[in-house]
Amino acid sequence: MSALALVSAALGAWALVAPFVFPWDVCPWVWVAGIIPGILVLVLNGVFFLRPQKNLAWLCWLSAALGVWLIVSPFIAGYAIVPDVVWANFLPGALIAILGVVTGYMALKAE
């Protein structure tokens, strides 16, 4: 369970640095679309990694929601025409969402 949170934290770090790796100058929403969600995923999963408890399962569910936001943000912000931006958000977003649901479920079932 903790290892999954660590993987999600690493994916959050990628979402944080992706705008600096790819040419996101076409996106004025870069802070809302990638950087802020990346920071939040990194922090939420870092906290859960350090203190994996049943009462902190909400961190995982919030992380999953941020993963979904990373998936849809290129389409909402109107820069879905830039393939690098879409893939830099979609892949980590999908993995963060899946890992958030799995980790949250495992945290709830833990005794």
Helix axes 83-109, 36-50, angle to 10 degrees: 30
Q: For the chain, give me the number of helices (H) and strands (E)? A: 5, 0
Average pLDDT value for residue range 65-72: 94
* pTM over 0.75, yes/no: yes
pLDDT of 54 strictly over 90: no
Nearest to 94 by CA among 7, 3, 1: 7
Q: Are the beta carbons of 15 and 41 closer than 8 angstroms?
A: yes
Q: Is the pLDDT of residue 1 over 70?
A: no
What is the reported pLDDT for 98?
95
Contact yes or no for 51/61 (Cβ under 8 A):
no
| In the block, residue with structure tokens 């979402």 | 15
